Chains A and B, each alone.
Chain A
Amino acid sequence: MIRYIFLCFAFILISSPATLRAEINTDGRILDIQQVTSDQGITAWLVEDHSLPIIAMRFSFTGAGAAGDPADKQGLSNMVATMLDQGAGDYDSQTFQLLLDDHNITLGFGAGRDDFGGSLKMLRHHQDLAFDLLRLALTKPRFDEEPLERMRNAALSRIRNSLSNPRWIAARIMNDTVFDGHPYALNAGGTLQTIGRIDDAAMRDVVEKRLGRDNLVISIVGAISADEVKDRLDALFGDLPAQAELTPAETIKLQNQGKTVLYEHDIPQTIIQIIQPGIARDDPDYYKAAIMNFILGGSGFGSRLTEEIREKRGLTYGISSGFFNLEHAKAFQISTSTQNDNVADMLTLIRAEIDMMRDTEPAKEEVADAKAYLIGSLPLRLASTDSIAGLIQNMQLDHLPPDYLDRRAAKLDAVTVQDVQYIARKMLAPDALTTILVGRPGNITPSVIIETLPHVE
């Protein structure tokens, strides 16, 4: 999800900015990113910054995420992520957690659909312990029965809790609908059945096969030098297998395009998720699409969807658009919610805004405003050591060059009003919109009614 947010510049508007940690350097670069390669050939991006004694690190194993989980063990990677910090080496679960807590070390793992990864943040003077705990977690996880049982219970609680969250329900149905037949359609968080089947052996298999040096991407920010990073890299990751054994997923075209899918749920406000094919990050038209999205629904206040639907008519508390990019599927989404009786009107209005975006050139001011924000707000996104680490990690995962930030403004600036209409006509597909509704919407004729939530029980 972090990666997804990064891809949608405009969504960043909602995040709270913090200190700009890297202003324009004397050599004119926005961020001084060093590429550090260890003796064993492990590479990391580093932004060295000693203004605070903090070190933040991100690491990802690409292609090692939940899309590789078997259908009868949905939730497997996610369970590995929750178990890696529950005991490793000589430390049992409680000892491991105590070492983290007592030294203010933040270590967390996560499984996305594509990648498996994590983050580590610490005070500089606790770095030996912090890095060693990470090394142990990755190479000598214990997967003891006691914490495993606890984490299974926590996962079951989480799934049951989700069942009273209509937004989660809408997302679940959306994934199942548009990725039908693909591993992306499965429930990365697991089902009430599959959680119980995840055992020690399955988790060890994930760690041993999917985490290799060849699919590892690392970013480090803070009070640490390039030489120190070099040594750390080998100590941390040198024991991992040189090559991961991955089963790559296939590219998938969004399924069930044009359909309206309803899940009846007894709530007064219907959750609306609209999704259609999107655009790849490395597509030459990407910047045109970024500006188009900002104008349509990416910017919150000031976007056409917000102005027409929230500000003028009061139909919703929030409406936004953005890109939803996975390794093997590129999508564009509009999310909102409204009182059940207003759903039909809302869908008509959204459709009209999509048509307008396609049929007419945007105003010059709209495009200029979009550029001004997308370019001008960059400093606010270089927030904490942590957020810079997230930013450069995502740049790596998106195969962007280290000088990307320096070149980004020019690319945005080159986009014209004609370009915006061009990409709107090319990308926006009013007849291919898949619409997910959760609630009791009035005046709607769904093409599909979901009776039982897929991949949950």
Chain B
Amino acid sequence: MVIYIIGMRRIAYIALSIFIVTVLAAAFNLAIQKRSDVTAAHTDELKKAATGKAPYDEKIFGAESFTLPNGMKAVVIPAHRAPVVTHMVWYKVGAADEPRGKSGIAHFVEHLMFKGTDAYPVGEFSRIVRQLGGNHNAMTGQDFTAYHQSVAKEHLETMMRLEADRMRGLIFPPDDVDSERLVVIEERRQVTENDPRGYFFEQMNAALFVNHPYQHPTIGWLHEVEALSRDDAIAFYNTHYAPNNAILVVAGDITAEELYPMAMAIYGDIPARAVPERNWTAVPPLLGTQRLVLHHDSIRQPLVRRAYRVPSARQDKDDSLALTVLASILGDGMNARFYRSLVIEQRLASSAGFGYGGTAWDDGRVVMSATPLEGISPEAVEAAMEEELRSLIRDGITDEELQSARTRLIDAAIFSRDSLTGPAMIFGYTLVTGGTIDDVEYWQRDIAGVTASQIHDVAARYLDPDNMKRRPYVTGYLLPANQSGAQDTPPPAPAPEEQAE
């Protein structure tokens, strides 16, 4: 089984998929889902939904929640179609909470969570889950670390016992810590050192988040990962792994009434302890234009990318919703503005995208990217992207664009329920980044409320390429080694005495 990391790309992917799933989760009349006879009259239901009072004012998932006396929150997402459950524990600690110089420790601890306790020695956790026909995994992001298993309902209690046991009882066997550090370094080589795109994304991100903990890759900088010690891991674990810093999410054939006594018995007696507040350093005003150019031998297809820091859902819910609909208008499919303009009309690129990741504790990101056609300069593609933004800021969006984006998002809601882990991921990720259950449940109503002027407004405030004072952005070019000369060979490294001054 793969323990995986959510690095920059992974975050972008997950954020996008969560966003999509969340969007899909929106706004489908529950009456439709509850009907036993679905073979007739959907259209009528939909019309009713569209014309009745507060058509989207119903919960999508019907989740229930409670909090244990030790501060551990729990969310239950009932889905009784089958006798299976997904069990997740989300910790409100991620790469952004790492001490300076210890990048990668959050992810390293996630790996070490599989290295055993007194009760269940190394290897036992996976073996038990496997014997029960279950699947399990874990993931680390900037804002969170999460562990999850999917099993038949009757094995839920065993999963809870295993997870509770390692919330407090990890033993960090020294040999296993050493071999696992090598595994993590191999993981980093696989995603970054072996792939110029990995470097490119990592460095763009560092430029976007100057002086903010998001500037560090989740997997950690190589030289810092190599130096992570067992003591570092123990200290991080002891500081952050506590029930009052965790959220329990269970989806499937279960109710809050059934879960509560089990949760009390299994997680309830783990003592709370003081967990440090998040006091993250902020990005200072960056007035210069930041452009990152990476030439690499193995690159044959150039890539142009621009990333903006924008509000996350926690920072500004209304702006975040408007950015969500905006991203659909600009980036969803071959009729979205970016693709239509850069690929179809201007013939500058073979692909063009625009996405917004707003599920974050601190700033969210808007990322736009395009792959220039042969013979088209990255500057030309960048200029075309900027023109799209300028025309958006100048003219706004049409009612037709707004209407079809909203309908598209809302009408797709039903698909998100066709999954067990999907809803659990949505709730876990939303809550761990400061959102609420209602943010998920009433997503449909919230999306339906977004107006054209709101969208116009967020575009002007956050994406204006000509107003660097508002929000900083970074533009990146990933290019073949020989393009535009100059940087074919990097300058020789300075001699040690020069570095030491």
A52 cross-chain contacts in B, Cβ below 8 A: 33, 414, 417-418
Partner of B178, one of A299, A314, A382: A314
Which of the residues A21, A123, A153, A339 comes within 8 Å of B186, measured between beta carbons? A339
Q: Per a CB cutoff under 8 Å, which of A17, A54, A103, A266 touches B420?
A: A17
Confirm or deny: A318 has a beta carbon within 8 angstroms of a beta carbon on chain B.
Answer: yes
CA distance A153 to B176 in the complex (A): 48
Distance (whole angstroms) from the CB of A391 to the closest CB of chain B = 15
Please give me the residue from chain A that is nearest to B45 by CB atom. Answer: A125
B14-34 vs A, CB cutoff 8 Å, 1 = contact: the mask equals: 000000000000000000110
- Given A314-B178, A317-B183, A379-B152, verify A53-B414 contact (CB < 8 Å): yes
Query: In the bound complex, how far is the Cα of B196 from the Cα of A389, in angstroms?
Result: 37
Given contacts A161-B300, A161-B301, contact A53 B183 (CB under 8 A): no
Structural contact, B1 and A307, CB atoms closer than 8 A: no
Q: Which of B53-61, B63-71, B291-299 contacts A (4 or more CB under 8 A)?
A: B291-299
Residues of A within 8 A of B371 (CB): 157, 161
A-binding segment of B204-212, B381-389, B404-412, B443-451: B404-412
**Which of A16, A150, A268 makes the CB contact (< 8 A) with B350?**
A150
Q: Is A405 an interface residue (CB 8 A)?
A: no
The answer to whether B84 has its CB under 8 Å from any CB of chain A is yes
B408 touches A300 (CB 8 A): no
Quick check: B414 and A123 within 8 Å, CB to CB? yes
Known contacts A163-B298, A380-B84, A384-B419; is-contact A318 B351 (Cβ 8 Å): no
Residues A223 and B38 in contact, CB atoms below 8 Å apart: yes
Q: Contact check, B135 vs A13: say whether CB atoms are below 8 A apart.
A: yes
Q: Identify which of A20, A153, A269, A386 contacts B194 (C-beta below 8 A).
A: A269
**Interface set, chain B 276-310, CB cutoff 8 A to A:** 296-301
Would you give the 0/1 interface string for A354-392, flagging 1 where the beta carbon is closer than 8 Å to chain B?
Answer: 000000000000000100110111111011111000000
Q: Are A160 and B39 in contact (CB under 8 A)?
A: no
Among B114, B186, B297, point to the contact of A314 (Cβ < 8 A): B186
Whether A377 touches B134, Cβ cut-off 8 Å, given contacts A165-B195, A267-B194, A268-B189, is: yes
Residue B312 interfacial (CB < 8 Å):
no
**Shortest beta-carbon distance from B324 to chain A in Å:** 16
Contacts of B226 in A (CB 8 A): none
> Among A104, A146, A301, A314, which residue has its beta carbon within 8 angstroms of that of B179?
A314
Which of B46, B132, B152, B422 has a CB less than 8 Å from the CB of A125?
B46
Could you tell me which residues of chain B, from 73 to 130, have a CB within 8 Å of some CB in chain A? 79, 81-84, 86, 114, 122-123, 126-127, 130
| Contact between chains at A265 and B298 (CB < 8 Å) | yes
Interface string of B241-256 (1 = CB under 8 A from A): 0000000000010000
Residues from chain B with a CB closer than 8 A to the CB of A104 are 408, 411-412, 415
Q: Judge if B169 is at the interface, Cβ distance under 8 Å.
A: no
What distance in Å separates the Cβ of B182 from its nearest Cβ neighbour in chain A? 3
Within 8 A of B (CB), among A315-364: 315-318, 337-339
Chain A neighbourhood of B414, CB < 8 A = 52-54, 123
**B335 contacts A94, CB within 8 Å?**
yes
B180 contacts chain A at the CB level, 8 A cutoff? yes
B42 at interface by CB-CB < 8 Å: yes
Please measure, in the bound complex, the distance between the C-alpha atom of A316 and the C-alpha atom of B86, giving whole angstroms. 29
Known: A225-B39, A376-B152. A17 touches B421 (CB 8 A): yes
Query: Is the beta-carbon distance between B300 and A164 smaller than 8 angstroms?
Result: yes
CB distance from B63 to the nearest CB of A (A): 15
B123 touches A17 (CB 8 A): no
Q: Measured between C-beta atoms, what is the minimum distance from B23 to chain A in Å?
A: 11
Quick check: B420 and A18 within 8 Å, CB to CB?
yes
Known A17-B150, A18-B420, A266-B298; judge A302-B127 contact (CB<8 A): yes
Binary interface encoding of chain B residues 136-147 relative to chain A, with 1 for a CB under 8 A from any of its CBs, else 0: 010000000000
Establish whether residues A376 and B419, one from each chain, have CB atoms under 8 Å apart when the complex forms: no
Whether A166 is near chain B, meaning CB under 8 Å from some CB there, is: yes
CB–CB B179/A337 < 8 A = no
Q: Does B174 contact A (CB under 8 A)?
A: no
Q: B-facing mask of A7-30, CB < 8 A → 1, else 0?
A: 000000111111111110000000
Q: A453–B195 Cα gap in the complex (Å)?
A: 18
Q: Is A125 a contact partner of B1 (Cβ separation < 8 A)?
A: no
Write out the residue numbers on chain B whose beta carbons fall within 8 Å of the beta carbon of A300: 1-2
B2 touches A14 (CB 8 A): yes
A373 and B152 form a contact (CB under 8 A): no
Nearest CB in chain B to that of A24: its residue: B83
Q: Which residues of B contact A154 (CB under 8 A)?
A: 350-351
- Give the contacts of A299-313 with B (CB-CB under 8 A): 299-302, 307, 310-313
Is residue B181 within 8 Å, beta carbon to beta carbon, of the partner chain?
Answer: yes
Complex Cα distance, B417 from A101, in Å, reads 20
**Bound CA span A161–B369, Å:** 14
Most A-side CB within 10 Å, residue of B42, B189, B193, B297: B189
- Within the complex, what minimum Cβ distance (angstroms) separates B299 from chain A? 5
CB distance from B467 to the nearest CB of A (A): 32
Does the CB pair A17–B300 fall under 8 Å? no
Q: B420, A19: Cβ atoms under 8 Å?
A: yes
Q: Are B32 and A164 in contact (CB under 8 A)?
A: no
The answer to whether B83 and A375 touch across the interface, beta carbons within 8 angstroms, is: no
- Whether A164 and B296, one on each chain, are in contact in the complex, defined by CB atoms closer than 8 angstroms, is yes
B418 touches A157 (CB 8 A): no
Cβ-defined contact, B127 with A18, below 8 A = no
A267 touching B193 in the complex, CB below 8 Å, given contacts A123-B414, A150-B350, A153-B350: yes
A101, B335: Cβ atoms closer than 8 Å:
yes
B344 within 8 Å of A (CB atoms) = yes
B contact residues around A314 at 8 Å (CB): 178-183, 186
Q: Could you say which of A97, A267, A369, A384 contacts B127, with CB atoms under 8 Å apart?
A: A369
Please tell me if A449 contacts chain B, counting CB pairs below 8 Å: no
Specify the chain A residue showing the minimal Cβ separation from B184.
A317
Which residue of B133, B151, B190 contacts A317 across the interface (Cβ within 8 Å)?
B190
Residue contact A18 to B421, C-beta cutoff 8 Å: yes
**B130/A53 in contact, CB under 8 A:** no
Question: How far, in angstroms, from A23 to B412 measured CA to CA in the complex?
Answer: 26
Q: Which residues of A contact B252 (CB under 8 A)?
A: 19
Taking a contact as CB atoms under 8 Å apart, the answer to whether A372 and B133 are in contact is yes
Assess the B1–A301 pair: CB atoms within 8 A: yes
How far apart sit A125 and B45, CA to CA, in the bound complex (Å)? 10
A17's nearest neighbour on chain B, judged by CB, is B150
How far apart sit A301 and B84, CA to CA, in the bound complex (Å)? 22
Cβ-based interface call for B36 (8 A) = yes
Q: Which residue of B lies closest to A127 (CB)?
A: B42
Q: How far is the CB of B403 from chain A (nearest CB, A)?
A: 10
Asked if B499 is at the interface (CB within 8 A of a chain A CB), the reply is: no
A residues within 8 A CB of B489? Answer: none
Task: For B334, list chain A residues within 8 Å (CB).
Answer: 93-94, 97, 101
- Any chain B CB within 8 A of the CB of A283? no
A21/B335 in contact, CB under 8 A = no
B343 within 8 Å of A (CB atoms): yes
Query: Which listed residue, B33, B39, B84, B333, touches A101 by the CB 8 Å rule?
Result: B333
Q: Is A98 an interface residue (CB 8 A)?
A: yes
A157 touching B301, Cβ below 8 Å: yes
* Extra contacts besides A20-B84, A97-B335, A302-B126 (9): CB < 8 Å: A53-B38, A94-B344, A153-B350, A163-B298, A337-B190, A372-B132, A376-B152, A377-B133, A379-B133
8 A-B pairs closest in CB distance? A376-B133, A314-B182, A20-B82, A314-B179, A160-B301, A160-B300, A125-B42, A300-B1
21 contacts between A and B (CB under 8 A): A13-B1, A18-B421, A20-B420, A21-B82, A23-B83, A53-B42, A104-B415, A150-B343, A164-B298, A166-B194, A223-B39, A265-B298, A266-B298, A267-B194, A269-B193, A300-B1, A311-B122, A317-B184, A317-B190, A377-B133, A382-B82
B-to-A contact residues, CB < 8 Å: 1-2, 32-33, 36, 38-39, 42-43, 46, 79, 81-84, 86, 114, 122-123, 126-127, 130-135, 137, 150-152, 176, 178-184, 186-187, 189-190, 193-197, 252, 296-301, 332-335, 340, 343-344, 350-351, 371, 373-374, 404, 407-408, 411-412, 414-415, 417-422
